[in-house]
C-alpha cells in the first residue's frame, strides 16, 4: 500500500510541477528590445508585450519593429510590424510602451549624435484589432506635428 501511495504522490507532484513555457526567441526573427507586463484597470496581469528590432529596411531609411502580444498563459494573441525612420545624425531609443483599450502606445526619444542633445519625441499609436498605425506624431518645441513632415 505504501508503494502505491508513494507512486500516486510522485505522479501528482510531477503533473502539477510542469508549467507552460514559451521560448521568446521563437516569437520573432528580430532582437528583443523591450518587454512589458500588460495589466487591466484593476492591475491584474492579463498578458505580456514584446517589442523586437528586425533591422534596417527601405535602403537603410527605416528600422522595422515587430510587436508580439501574449496572454497570461503565454499564448500568442497578435503581432504586427511598424517602422521608425533611420536618420544619419539622429538616433532613437524606445522609452515607453503602454497597452490600453486595445491600443499600443509607443514613445520614442530622438537624440542628436553630434550635439549629444535631445531632438524630440515620437508617439506612435497602433490599433491592435486591425494591426495598423492610427497615429504617428512628432513632438518638439512644445508642438505636435505629423511624423511624415519630419521625415521629408
Cβ neighbours of residue 13 closer than 8 Å, sequence gap 6 or more: none
What does the angle CA 62 – CA 54 – CA 32 come to, to the nearest 5 degrees?
130
Place of cell 549629444: 116
pLDDT band for position 11 (cuts 50, 70, 90) = low
User: What pTM was computed for the model?
Assistant: 0.70
Q: What is the 3-state secondary structure (H, E, C) of 57-110?
A: ECCCCEEEEEEEEEECCCCEEEEEEEEEECCCCEEEEEEEEEEECCEEEEEEEE
pLDDT at residue number 27: 81
Indicate if the pLDDT at residue 67 is higher than 70.
yes
Q: CA 11, CA 2: separation in Å to the nearest integer?
A: 14
pLDDT at residue number 14: 61
Amino acid at each position: 500500500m505504501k508503494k502505491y501511495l508513494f507512486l500516486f504522490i510522485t505522479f501528482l507532484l510531477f503533473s502539477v510541477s510542469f508549467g507552460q513555457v514559451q521560448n521568446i526567441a521563437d516569437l520573432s526573427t528580430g532582437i528583443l528590445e523591450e518587454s512589458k507586463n500588460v495589466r487591466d484597470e484593476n492591475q491584474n496581469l492579463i498578458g505580456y508585450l514584446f517589442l523586437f528590432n528586425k533591422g534596417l529596411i527601405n535602403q537603410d531609411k527605416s528600422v522595422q519593429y515587430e510587436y508580439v502580444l501574449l496572454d497570461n498563459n503565454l499564448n500568442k494573441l497578435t503581432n504586427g510590424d511598424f517602422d521608425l525612420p533611420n536618420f544619419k545624425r539622429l538616433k532613437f531609443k524606445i522609452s515607453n510602451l503602454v497597452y490600453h483599450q486595445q491600443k499600443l502606445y509607443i514613445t520614442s526619444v530622438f537624440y542628436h549624435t553630434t550635439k549629444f542633445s535631445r531632438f524630440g519625441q515620437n508617439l506612435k499609436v497602433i490599433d491592435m484589432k486591425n494591426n495598423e498605425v492610427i497615429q504617428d506624431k512628432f513632438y518638439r518645441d512644445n508642438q505636435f506635428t505629423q511624423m511624415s513632415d519630419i521625415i521629408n
